[in-house]
Each structure stands twice: as C-alpha cells, then as structure tokens.
Amino acid sequence: MTTALITGASSGLGAEFARQLAAQGHALVLVARDRARLEKLAAELRSRTGVEVEVLPADLTDEAQLAAVVDRVGDPARPVGILVNNAGIGLLHDFDRTPLEEEINHVRLHVEAPLSLCHAAIRAMSARNEGRIINVASIAAFVPRGSYSAAKAWMLAFSRWANLHYKRRGIIVTALCPGFVHTEFHSRMGMTTKFIPPFLWLRADRVVREGLVDNLRGKGVSIPSRRYKAVALLSRVLPGRLLQGPQRRPKR
C-alpha cells in the first residue's frame, strides 16, 4: 500500500479520509495545526488498523510551515502516493466586512497551499508514473457565493485540467465537491445552520467514500449525491441571483 498525506486531518472530512484510507491499509501523514488532536487520531488509527501514521503539525498559511509540508510531499525517499488537499476555513461576513488579512489567509489556505502541494506531488508522481490527488472543493464552486466560491472554483478548474493533462502519466486528480456536510466547519466559523433544510445535509463517511471511488475511477470531478449533482446542472442555466441562496447571518 502507498502513503497518503492528508491536510486538515484533525477533524471533519480530513479525519474521515484518514480513517477510510487507514482501513484500506495505507500509511498516513496527518497534517493540521492542532498537534494534540492529530496525535489522538494517530493513536486511534494505529491501534485499530496497525498502519504507520506520521504526524506533521503545520499552519498552511505560514510560508515556512507550508514549505515543510511541500518538502514532505516531494521527498523521493518517502514517496506520497495519495495527496488529499482538505484543509479549509469559511468566512462568516460579507467581503466588505471581512478584514483584508483574513481574506488573504483564506486565499493562501484554499489556493496557494493546494497549488504548492499539487506541484510537489505531481513532480514526484510523474517520476513514478502513478499517483492520486483529491482536492476537496465544494458545490459552492458552481455558484456565486463570495471569495469562498471563487477559491473553490479555482480548485475545481485546476483539478479538471490537471486530471486531463496528467492522466497520461498515471496521475488522477479529482475535485471533490460536496454540499453541506455534518462536520465542525460551520460551527468553527460561527455560522448558524438553522436555515439549512435537513435533506441538504450529507454524512462525512458518504462524501469521503464517494470521493475515493470516483478518484479510483479516474474522474476529474466528484459530486456526492443526486441532489448536489442537480445543483451543479442547474447552475449552468439559472440566474446568479437565484443561485446565491439565503444570505448568512452571524450568531447573536
């Protein structure tokens, strides 16, 4: 089995990727800011599956810490066969109400970090003529919803292109585009979820399972569930004002 490096691995989809890949027998490199949570997950996975788990704490918005993860991805002595770019954050307020530094960090995490890691991974994978990359984007990539949608649209477009271009070298690149998922993502950003209908929510295990299957099948885009596939299709014909949906409100 190969080694999988997962960013944002301490919780949510990242932790679920770690569990499912470990269950398949892959060794893991877990990347996130919270060392304590990474160590706890690593201990759980070692005990449950017996796989080798490496913990690599890093803030991917920090240039030096990102460089350390890039070096690990590209290390020919310890090849990474699967890269999962999952780390992400949300911004609660409208663009004009969000401090510029928060917007810049948002772009660093959602664009600069995955770009840097994909660059290192594809160079290393090309030398071996095999490799898998999953970039966790969002159904928001298909709709106009601020700088978050813009960043995820970049990830979607990049992944589509990279999959077409590098598949001939044995490298599969998939943009995973879920909708609302039961994780800590929304509570961490302080967003109320009361307005979201229950039928729109997805389970993290389903999202990860479908993403892994679609990646193995060589798909450039993976959209879990028929309901969100319909959203992606409708985004091509509906006016932007309808696709914006209900506006977020900060918690009181």
Catalytic residue ranges: 148
> Environment class of residue 235 by beta-carbon count within 10 Å: exposed (0-12), middle (13-18) or buried (19+)?
middle
> Sign of the CA dihedral 86, 216, 210, 179?
positive
The conformation of residue 144, written as its DSSP 8-state character, comes to: -
Q: Are 32 and 57 in contact (CB under 8 A)?
A: yes
d(CA 72, CA 80): 8
Cite the beta strand spans of 75-162 per DSSP E: 82-85, 131-136
Taking alpha carbons only, the member of 139, 137, 166, 162 closest to residue 152 is 137
